[in-house]
Amino acid sequence: MRLPIRLIPLLVLLPAIAGAQLGGRPSTLGLIRDARIAEAMRDLSPAELRRIDSTLVAFGTRHTMSDTLSPTRGIGAARRWIHAELAAAAAACAGCLRVEYDTGRAVVGRSPARPTVALWNVVAWLPGRDTSRVVVMGAHYDSCICSTDGMDAVSDAPGADDDGSGTAAVMALARVMGQRFPTGFDATVAFVLYTGEEQGLLGSTQFAERLAREGKRVVAAFTDDIIGNVVADDGRRDDRSVRVFAVDSLAIGGGELARYVWAVGARYQPRFEVLPVLRLDRLGRGGDHRPFVERGIPGLRFSERLENYKRQHLPTDSLADVDFDYVARVARLNLAAVAALAAAPDRPAQTAYARDRASGGQAFQIRWSPVAGAARYELLVRRTTDPTYTRIVDAGSDTSYLLDEQLDDVWVGVRAVGADGHRSLTTVVGAPGGPRLAPAARPR
């Protein structure tokens, strides 16, 4: 069918307008605004976050090798309290959350004595319709004064920002999301409080290995790590933006995840800027998303815009310097990102492309593997130098589409759209090292 010639520019332009960056504003990538998610975000209160973090700090130290027997001091008391808080949240939503310890042992390679430590992550599962597909939302509850002595397990290590702030956010998220969505989403959500982060990401490595062993497909692994400082040592202040760190690997999809969170922020909390940084982490630093990325899973770290290096890993990382209004903004962004992803179908596992002969090679036939629960699919297009997608094409309910783009010159992502409008992450077509569909049979 041929369209009247004067309509064509308009039809081409409409999807571009829907997805483009206008006047420097970030793209919402056509994501819907789900009223239930927006309402749940309001339940995350600075007062609750402060209550949780102040209790964590009151355990004195949460060093991974600190006392485990005292009821009031050390990492044992801290993990038992975290477990009890999550169990209370589970009871309040009629058992919607499954709370457990994820335990194991690991050698602390960073210590000359190479001691073996017991690792106790605390996990609250919000089971979804599909229990084999998991969105991980984590933070580490252990603390240290590593800037003076990484193996000092006795002295006070308050860790109010690192990472009491992230731990408070994840515990509050588990409570609020359980309360608001007691029957869960399409995917399962794991709220995880890791131990052993300061000894080399030991707890998150253990959890990532366990999920792989159990055959779980991890949609994305988020970590909140230092999300409460708003004043830098030079006096600069920023409580209106947050950094998200992710490797822009086309095959794994880290950059796709960063663009998704960027869009979620623009859709649900537009006055709080998401600053995507397309690298694994800050220079020379690490976080609990890393063990997942190393296993081929999209991982992303949320961190405050401005760090204060006079307090990190020191006895001065105190509660007074955590801004809980700011932590609440980050937690609301977390909630929207986790809920939107978990509510969506999976993304296509594999893609393929073929140059279209009829167009003289100027169009491409794009194919992808079908996704359970997908009502339809969309193709997203960006120039290779664009930070995010600028064109969204409705590809209908089939698993192939003739795209009027020169695929040599752009990146194209395919995503699934659920019946209720939630969008999956994108799988990049023709990503080097990415999964490919088998070649199509020649058309007859």
Question: Which residues lie near Zn ion (CB under 5 A)?
Answer: 162-163, 225
Query: How does DSSP classify residue 439?
Result: P
What is the Cβ-side half-sphere exposure of residue 314, based on CA atoms within 13 angstroms? 8
Least distance between Zn ion and beta carbon 166 (Å): 7
Least distance between Zn ion and beta carbon 286 (Å): 9
Q: Which is nearer to Zn ion, 225 or 323 (CB)?
A: 225
Q: Which amino acid is at 332?
A: R
What is the Cβ-side half-sphere exposure of residue 17, based on CA atoms within 13 angstroms? 6
Angle, CA of 183, 44 and 95, to the nearest 5°? 30
Judge residue 132's burial from the number of C-beta atoms within 10 Å of its C-beta, 0-12 exposed, 13-18 middle, 19 or more buried. Answer: exposed
Phi, psi (5° rounding) for residue 33?
Answer: -105, 110
Q: Is residue 333 within 8 Å of 44, Cβ to Cβ?
A: no
Tokens at residue 392, please? 């969204």
Least distance between Zn ion and beta carbon 172 (Å): 18
Least distance between Zn ion and beta carbon 424 (Å): 30
Least distance between Zn ion and beta carbon 223 (Å): 9
Report the candidate in 385, 393, 397, 402 with the shortest Cα–Cα distance to residue 426. 393
Q: Which is nearer to Zn ion, 256 or 307 (CB)?
A: 307
Tokens at residue 170, please? 């994840």
Q: Which is nearer to Zn ion, 28 or 195 (CB)?
A: 195
Across the strands, what pairs with 274?
Answer: 242
Q: Is residue 387 within 8 Å of 344, Cβ to Cβ?
A: no
Least distance between Zn ion and beta carbon 7 (Å): 55
